Amino acid sequence: MGHLVLAATVPDAVTFAIAAVITVTGALGVVLSRNPVHAALMLIMTLFGVAVLFVEEDAQFLAAVQVIVYAGAIVVLFLFVIMLLGVDRLESLAAEPMPAQRWVALGLGVLGLAEIVLLSRGKWPLGAHSVAGTVNGAGQQNVSVLGKALFTTYLLPFEITSALLVIAVIGAVVLARRPRTAGTAEIEDHAEAEDT
């Protein structure tokens, strides 16, 4: 039972509470929505809540990344895939594709929660600023401090990211490419559906 870090001012605590509620509501919505598009929308809501939490922690750049990359690009991809496959109307939840997945998910979730509790060791920053310390410059300094850290100390991880991006592109192309051997009816159907 650690002691709460209650250095936060009242507006900070209120912002934290609102953002936390938004985040958790969104997360529950993702899990509980029947319609995949609604689930994706709820995911956007969660990402926004997290972005607000980042802003509160003075992690300005991360907040922007959260919205630009996650909400602005990755969920768009999710929605495209949902629309691409047409699962938004046809999906039936009665048949479980992976029988044990609920229990595995529950177990992993409990494990994750235990990990968070263990790592935080009772330090709960309920709206207090910048517990992370040195990497975060305050306010507008944040991005330049982060930039300096990223492009000097953490240069290697940054360059390795580019390799990851290359792998992602190649993976996408290989997955999306039609098989070379033509002639089966299935391919023809696929090609026709593609010309809508």
Partner 1 sequence: MGDPLFAHGVGLAVLIIAIVKVVVVFAVLMVAVMLMIWMERKVISDMQNRIGPNRAGPFGLLQSLADGIKLFFKEDLLPDKADRVVFRLAPYLTLVPAFLIFTIVPIGGAVDIAHHAFDLQVADPPMGILFLLALSSVSVYGSMLAGWSSGSKYPLLGSVRASAQMISYEAAMGLAVAAVVLEDHTLSTRAIVAAQSASVLHWGVIQTGIVPFLIFWVAATAELNRPPFDLVEGEQELVGGFHTEYSSIRFALFYLAEFMNMITMSAIMVTLFFGGPDGPGFHFLPWVWPILWFVGKTFVFLYIYIWIRAALPRLRYDQLMDLGWKRLIPLALGWLLIIAAFRVDDVWGFAVFAGCLLAAAALGQSIRVGQRRRQIEAETTGEGRAARAAKQVQLRALAARSEEGGAR
Partner 2 sequence: MGSLDSYLPIFLMIVLGIVFAALSFVASKLLAPYRPTAAKEAPYECGIVPTHEPTYRFPVRFYLVAMIFIIFDIEIIFLFPWAVVFGQLHTFGLVEILVFAAAVFVSFVYLISNGALDWGPMKRVQPIATDEVRTTSTTVRRVGPSSGEAA
Q: Can you give the binding site for partner 1, defined by CB under 8 A?
A: 11, 35, 37-38, 41, 44, 55, 60-61, 63-64, 67-68, 71-73, 76, 79-80, 83, 88, 139-140, 142-143, 178, 180, 182, 187-192, 194-195
Amino acid identity, position 165: L
Toward partner 2, which CB reaches closer, 114 or 155?
155
Q: What residue 165 binds from partner 1, partner 2, none (CB within 5 to 8 A, per partner kind)? A: partner 2
Toward partner 2, which CB reaches closer, 80 or 114?
80
- Residue 22, C-beta contacts closer than 8 angstroms, at least 6 positions apart: 45, 46, 48, 49, 52
Spatial distance between the Cα atoms of 59 and 169, rounded to a whole number of angstroms: 29
Count of CA atoms in the C-beta half-sphere (13 A) of 58: 19
Does 47 sit near partner 2 (CB under 8 A)? no
Does 73 sit near partner 2 (CB under 8 A)? yes
Amino acid identity, position 3: H
Nearest CA-CA partner of 49 in 71, 82, 81: 71
Spatial distance between the Cα atoms of 64 and 47, rounded to a whole number of angstroms: 11
In the chain the first and final C-alpha atoms are separated, in Å, by 60
Residues near partner 2 (CB under 8 A) are 9, 11-12, 15, 55-56, 58, 60-61, 64-65, 68-69, 72-74, 76-77, 80-81, 83-86, 88-90, 129, 138-140, 143-144, 146-148, 150-152, 155, 158-159, 161-163, 165-166, 168-170, 172-173, 176-177, 193-196
